[in-house]
Chains A and B, each alone.
Chain A
Amino acid sequence: MKLRRWFVLPPLLVIWVIAYRVLKPAAEWFTYQLCGLDPATHLGQSVAFFVYDAPKVMMLLVLVVFGVGIVRTFFTPERTRRTLAGKRETVGNVMAALLGVVTPFCSCSAVPLFLGFVEAGVPLGVTFSFLISAPMVNEVALVLLFGLFGWKVAGLYLATGLLIAIGAGWVLGRLRLEKHLEPWVLETRLAAATPAEARLGWNDRLDHAQQAVREIVGKVWLFVLAGIAVGAAIHGYVPDGLMAGIMGRNAWWSVPAAVLVGVPMYSNAAGIIPIVQALLEKGAALGTVLAFMMAVIGLSLPEMVILRRVLRLPLILAFVGVVASGILVVGYLFNLVF
C-alpha cells in the first residue's frame, strides 16, 4: 500500500494540471451553454464567476497545502528554536520571520511556543517576529491571493507580510518590554530534554502532507465557498466604481478604517479574500484592501486572549500597536504607488 502511492501520485498530478488548464472553458461552457445563461446579465456574471473560481481555488488549495505539508515535515518548532537561540537581533528577526512561514504552527500552541523561545534565550523581539509572520503569511492566504489576484499581489503580500514581521519584531525588541512579561515566565525552566521525534522517511512525510490536506481543506472549504459566493454576488450585482468613494485611493481615512474594522474581525483568510477580491474589482484601492486583509488575518482577538496568559496588557497593546502601524504604512504605500 505504501509503494502504491508512488504510482498513484504522479498520474494524479498530471490529471490536476490538465483539469486546471481546461477549467475556464469548461466553466464558461457550463454557465452559458448548459445552463443557457446570458453573459450580459447579472445572474450570468455571478454564476460564471462562482463556477470558475470555486473549483480553481479548491484545486490550488489541495495542491499547495499538500506541498507545504511536505515542506513542514522538515521543520519543527524545536529545531526552529535551536536555530534562533544563538542569533543576534537583526539577523534573528529576519530568520524568525522566514521560519514563521514554514514552521508548523497552530495559534493554540502560541503560549508554549512563546515560553519555549524566550526561555531558550531567543530575544523577545525575535520571538515576536516569528509570532507575527506565522499566522499572517500562511499558505491558505497565499493560495487564495494567487488564485484570485495573480502572482503579483500574492508576491506583494508575502514580501510586505515578512517586512512587517521583521520590522515590528525589531521595534518591539528595541522597546525593552521584558518587564511586562508575566513574572513567572522568566522563572519557568524548560526541561532540557526536548522530545526526540523519530526520523522521518518519505512515506511519513507524504502521510503528514495527506493529513494536512484533510485537516486544513476540511476546515476551510466551507469558508472558501461561502466567500466566493458572496464575491460572486458582488461581482455580478454591485455596480462598478461603487467602492471607489468609500475604499478608493482618494479617501485618506479608508486605510486606518480598514485596519480598525479588520483587527477585531476574526475570520480565516479563506473567507475574507474572495470578498476582498470583489471589492477591489469594484474600485477599492489595493493598499486599503491589503491593509484590511492583513489586519484580519495577522491580528486576531482570540490569539491576544491566549497570549494574555504570558504577556501583561501594556505588552499586548504595544504588540497590536506596532503591527497595526506597520500595516498602515503598507496600506498607504500601496495606495501611493499603484
Chain B
Amino acid sequence: MKIQVLGTGCAKCSDLVTRTEAALKRLNLDTPVEKVSDIREIMAFGVMSTPALVVDGKVCFSGRVPNVDELAKIIAS
C-alpha cells in the first residue's frame, strides 16, 4: 500500500500527515506516509484544494482534515 498526503505545506497539511500516521498506527500498519508538496505533482492528481489524501494512486478526499477515526476507516477500505 502506498499512502501520500498532498499539500503545499500549510498547517492543515501537516495536521493531516500527523492524523494519517496516527490512523495507520491504530490499524497496526507501518506504511510510511509520503508528503507531496510540489504543486505540479499535486495538480497531476486533479486536486484543487489541499490537503488531500491519496491511497494507491487514488484520491480519497481533498480540502479537509478528517479525524483519526474517519481516516482509519478510509484507509482500511
Contact = CB atoms under 8 A, between A and B. Distances in A.
Interface in A104-153: 104-106, 108-109, 111-113, 115-117, 119
B19 to A, nearest CB: 12
A191 interface: yes
A113 B8 contact: no
Contacts of A306: 8
Given A76-B63, A111-B39, A194 B8 contact: no
A115 B46 CA distance: 10
B46 A106 contact: no
Nearest to A115: B43
Of the four ranges (under 10, 10 to 19, 20 to 34, 35 or more), the interface on chain A belongs to 20 to 34
Of the four ranges (under 10, 10 to 19, 20 to 34, 35 or more), the interface on chain B belongs to 20 to 34
Interface in B50-77: 50, 52, 59-64, 67
A53 B74 CA distance: 42
A41 interface: no
Contact of B47 (A112, A184, A208): A112
A164 B32 CA distance: 46
A106 B49 contact: yes
A209 B62 CA distance: 16
Given A195-B61, A208-B64, A109 B8 contact: yes
B59 A108 contact: no
Nearest to B46: A191
Contact of A108 (B10, B45, B60, B62): B10
A106 B47 contact: no
Contacts of A193: 46, 59
Interface in A276-326: 306, 309
Contacts of B11: 108
A108 B46 CA distance: 17
Interface of B: 7-13, 39-40, 42-50, 52, 59-64, 67
Interface of A: 76-78, 81, 104-106, 108-109, 111-113, 115-117, 119, 184, 188, 190-195, 197, 208, 211, 306, 309
Given A77-B48, A195-B52, 4 more contacts: A104-B63, A108-B13, A113-B48, A211-B64
